[in-house]
Amino acid sequence: MSNTGVNKEVDVLIVGAGIAGATLAANLAKTGKNIVVVERDLSERDVIIGELLQPGGVQKLGEMGFTSFIDQIDAQPVYGYDIIFEGQDYVIPYPNKNGEPSGYGFRNGAFLQNIRKHVLALDNVRVIEGAVTDLIDEKDTIVGASFKRKDAIEEEQVYAKLTVLTDGPLSTFREKLSKPVNKLNGYFLGLLLKNCELPYANHGHLVMGDHPPMVIYPVTSTSWRVLIDFKGEKPPRMGRDFKKFLLEEFENAIPQSARKAFKATVEEGKFKTFPNHRLPANPIKKEGAVILGDALNMRHPLTGGGMTAAFNDVLRLSNNLASITDFSNKKQIGKAIQKFYETRHLGTQTTNILADGLYGVVYNPDLRKAFFEYVSRGDKYAEETCSILAGLNKDKKLLLNHFIGMARYGTQMRITNSEKSKETVTQSLTMVKDAVGIITPLLLSEKPDTGNKLMLEALNRII
Ligand SMILES: Cc1cc2nc3c(=O)[nH]c(=O)nc-3n(C[C@H](O)[C@H](O)[C@H](O)COP(=O)(O)OP(=O)(O)OC[C@H]3O[C@@H](n4cnc5c(N)ncnc54)[C@H](O)[C@@H]3O)c2cc1C
């Protein structure tokens, strides 16, 4: 079937063939649905987002039968993290006792083109290169979208029984299907280090210290992505002194073996930035439509959890829709969407809480030291924390126990290792208070359930 022309009424219209939209098209297509995907730009994108897929995301791809999307793109297996704190480091492997997969680093554009290539070859999916200009709302029901093909002047319409909005982090239409309370945390500056080694091949590196945090992971066999956090409302100003600033601020924090490559990359000056948002999910139920991926929910990318969350969404929604043979049955579609909104947090909440929780920790000098000391104890302190980061373990209570346990451990260490004074005790206890202050709003912004209430009561007893 050609990929031009629009069937006037299709089962499903997907807005955006990014990570979530393209994978959803591939997965829904298995049930024989008639699908149209409208994507603004089908060329391979050169971005700094979505380049480390956590093992939990690889597992979800496997459940959909799509691990081949990682093939033939020089993707690099990632076996765990090296946590670097003021020059010391501690390596934590991802869990693999039960045959859990490794993570993968890759160029996002190459990975996405693999997914799109698969979709473009499907008989029951039509992919249109064009920008959606509006969702069509008739009598409070979304019935499709208007779009303009690339280079066209005229608008066209496509009508669908179900419209799926996956227009990503910079979504234009999220307000039609959710009540977003979007917080800009700042920006990641991305650089590519070429032909160098890091302390641990095939590992992510989290670099913390008296400087903004950095993450580094392999994205091809010869290059490593470095992401440096910049807090604030505006992207870093890349004026004349920017290169000097980067070298002064970060060169010594980069592991020795990669400093030469870092310096060369900075001098070359090929930088990219992307805004980092926190967006708790707050969907509005609207007949005929559903929203997912970054359009609905974002967390800080420090822990690389976004694609894992997106694949969780894709799988959960597809499973809910799988048994519906007739998509004109609005009641059944409505029920499937309602169930998706009510249960999706079970797959995403620990990823979200950990991402923004760790982001709070790395900017708090006492807590980031406590975090390093806590995971350096090894055993369950490292393994369980890493299993949550990996997106393999979704136990929210376990996450909370480790988060508070980390702050309490920091407190104990401080009291044990410092001169006994009222000031030491007060400062130490502040750590627990700070940790609770970081995690409480994150817990509250996940879909409220009785579990959250019990946890908040437990937290109140601690402080
Ligand atoms: C700096 C940064 C680094 C990150 N690093 C990681 C990481 O290492 N690992 C990880 O798992 N996650 C990471 N993420 C998050 C991850 O990139 C996202 O969670 C993921 O890409 C979300 O997929 P999506 O499909 O919702 O959005 P996208 O993949 O961005 O797809 C949205 C698609 O919609 C299209 N589109 C938008 N508007 C229109 C329109 N009007 N009409 C037609 N098409 C449209 C876009 O062109 C795009 O193709 C990072 C995020 C940031 C900000």
pLDDT digits (tens, 9 = 90+) for 214-253: 999 999 999 999 999 999 999 998 888 999 999 999 999 9
For ligand 1, atom 3: residue with the closest CA:
49
- State residue 452's pLDDT score: 65
Q: 429: which residues sit within 8 A by CB, 6+ positions away?
A: 411
Of all atoms in ligand 1, which is nearest to the CA of residue 21?
A: 25
For ligand 1, atom 4: residue with the closest CA:
49
Mutate which of 40, 217, 219, 292 for ligand 1 pocket (most atoms within 8 A of beta carbon): 40
- State residue 423's pLDDT score: 83
Of all atoms in ligand 1, which is nearest to the CA of residue 17?
A: 49
Radius of gyration from C-alpha coordinates of the chain: 23
Mutate which of 129, 294, 299 for ligand 1 pocket (most atoms within 8 A of beta carbon): 294
| Ligand 1 touching residue 157 (CB < 6 A) | no
Which H/E stretch holds residue 348?
helix 345-362
Name the maximum alpha-carbon separation found in the chain.
Answer: 77
| Ligand 1 touching residue 53 (CB < 6 A) | yes
Three-state DSSP class for 407?
Answer: helix
| Ligand 1 touching residue 135 (CB < 6 A) | no
Average pLDDT in the chain: 94
Least confident of 66-75, 299-308, 423-432: 423-432
Long-range CB contact pairs, 315-319, < 8 A, 24+? 315/27, 315/60, 315/63, 315/64, 315/347, 316/340, 316/343, 316/344, 316/347, 317/24, 317/164, 317/290, 317/292, 317/344, 318/24, 318/27, 318/28, 318/31, 318/64
pLDDT band at 461 (very low <50, low <70, confident <90, very high): low
**pLDDT surpassing 50 at residue 367:** yes
pLDDT, tens digit, 9 for 90 and up, residues 78-103: 999 999 999 899 999 999 888 899 99
pLDDT, tens digit, 9 for 90 and up, residues 368-427: 999 999 999 999 999 999 999 999 999 999 999 999 999 999 999 988 888 778 888 888
Cα separation, 414 vs 435, in Å, equals 15
| Ligand 1 touching residue 306 (CB < 6 A) | yes
The candidate with the shortest Cα–Cα distance to 260, out of 190, 197, 203, 188, is: 197
Of all atoms in ligand 1, which is nearest to the CA of residue 295?
A: 26
Distance of CA 356 to the CA centre of its chain: 11
**pLDDT surpassing 50 at residue 306:** yes
pLDDT, tens digit, 9 for 90 and up, residues 247-289: 999 999 999 999 999 999 999 999 999 999 999 999 999 999 9
| Ligand 1 touching residue 19 (CB < 6 A) | yes
- Residue 434 Cα to ligand 1 midpoint, Å, equals 31
**pLDDT surpassing 70 at residue 2:** no
| Ligand 1 touching residue 21 (CB < 6 A) | yes
- State residue 1's pLDDT score: 35
- State residue 172's pLDDT score: 98
- Residue 391 Cα to ligand 1 midpoint, Å, equals 18
Q: 307: which residues sit within 8 A by CB, 6+ positions away?
A: 19, 50, 53, 54, 57
The candidate with the shortest Cα–Cα distance to 405, out of 462, 453, 454, is: 462
- State residue 3's pLDDT score: 42
Mean per-residue pLDDT, 54-78:
98
**pLDDT surpassing 70 at residue 451:** no
- Give me 47's structure tokens: 């971005």
Ordered structural domains, the chain, with CATH: 9-46+66-74+107-180+280-345 (3.50.50.60), 346-462 (no CATH)
DSSP class of residue 97 equals T
The candidate with the shortest Cα–Cα distance to 107, out of 272, 353, 275, is: 272
Mutate which of 24, 167, 205 for ligand 1 pocket (most atoms within 8 A of beta carbon): 167
| Ligand 1 touching residue 169 (CB < 6 A) | yes
